[in-house]
Amino acid sequence: MPQELRAVEWTGSGLALIDQTLLPQRTELRSVHDVDALVDAIQRLVVRGAPAIGAAGGYGVALALIEGQRKGWSEAEVRAAVARVREARPTAVNLMVCVDRVMTRFEEGLDAVLEEAAAVQREDVAANRAMGAFGADWLLERVGGDRPLRILTHCNTGALATAGWGTALGVVRELHARGRLEVVYADETRPLLQGSRLTAWELVQEGIPHHVQVDGAAAGTILRGEVDAAIVGADRIAANGDTANKVGTVGVALACADAGIPFLVAAPTTTVDLATKTGDDIHIELRAEEEVLEWAGVRTAPAESRGHNPAFDVTPGRLITGLVTERGVLEISAGELPGDRLKQ
């Protein structure tokens, strides 16, 4: 993927976001210059992926300050606007962490806020590069042998979902760069098809061989022995290793456990929420039921049917072989828990 392509970019007066609702048919930038537009972009998944919305949220503090200056807001009104950004999506902890971090510079003014937001973005790219190397090393040592690997992934975890490079897809890109990747199975990822629209698009940019498959095919592909390992991202990781990720992830983990192959989660340490003790405490966002009752605006289910549309599910830590972070790989199923080691 071209290095100049970024899902989130500060322009000097606002944000330029790649509109991920339009990919892969069109690649367009959406300009964001106020808090309402940023909240809308986050909630409509114009920008999505836990690290990417974290970066956008950090710059959201700057947007609130600029808008407040323009409209004559009080400090309380500016802080209320920042709170709206922070709460735009409830499951992904990165948004809250990054907004809170940038807010530590709030009293110093706009330049300090922008400096901190840029640091958040830089550090995410560096973290992604590091976890790509750690994850590739671990996989090649444990399951590599002498042949290239076959990897399954779910949802989108590449440059589009982060400040750059990618988390789980960053590991895939690292394997490809080393000549140790045979093929990627990309789950289409319901209900908004982030796998078939976004992951496949990123894989095409990299020239990586891949198959897009329906989510219901993933378990069978794994159990037939066509996959060496699965690697996914995360939106929130509890202190005991339970992990929230895009809905459908837990089925992949169960199949990997039955097949006896690694199931890895790749995420920066900002995704670990030690205040959340277990997955039972993770709030699961429910999206509009029309997303599963309709297709392209046309009703596909009976008029009497109701939709159940959770955006995420929670994979128990016991099913997660390893957590890949910028600090290395924790073997969660073997008892190395984030709450014990990551944020000491």
Has 105 been labeled as part of a binding site?
Answer: no
Q: Phi and psi for 6 in degrees, rounded to 5?
A: -130, 135
Question: Rounded CA gap, 237 and 272, in Å?
Answer: 5
Q: Which residues contact 140 (CB under 8 A, 6 or more apart)?
A: 149, 175, 178, 180
Question: Rounded CA gap, 243 and 227, in Å?
Answer: 22
Question: Rounded CA gap, 128 and 140, in Å?
Answer: 18
Question: Which residue pairs from 26-30 have beta carbons closer than 8 angstroms and sit at least 24 positions apart in sequence?
Answer: none
Has 240 been labeled as part of a binding site?
Answer: no
Has 309 been labeled as part of a binding site?
Answer: no
Tokens of 113: 């806020």
Question: Rounded CA gap, 143 and 321, in Å?
Answer: 13
Other C-beta atoms closer than 10 Å to the C-beta of 96 total: 20
Has 180 been labeled as part of a binding site?
Answer: no
Other C-beta atoms closer than 10 Å to the C-beta of 119 total: 14
Within the chain, what is the greatest distance between any pair of CA atoms? 64
**b/e for 271-293, b at 16 or more Cβ within 10 A?**
bbbeebeebeebebbebeeeebb
Q: How many angstroms separate the first and last alpha carbons of the chain?
A: 35
Question: Rounded CA gap, 88 and 66, in Å?
Answer: 19
Has 219 been labeled as part of a binding site?
Answer: no
Q: For residue 228, indicate whether it is catalytic.
A: no
Has 195 been labeled as part of a binding site?
Answer: no
**Residue 111 DSSP code:** H
The catalytic position among 235, 242, 273, 313 is 235
Has 170 been labeled as part of a binding site?
Answer: no
Q: Which residues are annotated as a binding site?
A: 48-50, 89, 194, 245-246
> Which of the residues are catalytic?
235
Q: Which residues are annotated as a binding site for substrate?
A: 48-50, 89, 194, 245-246
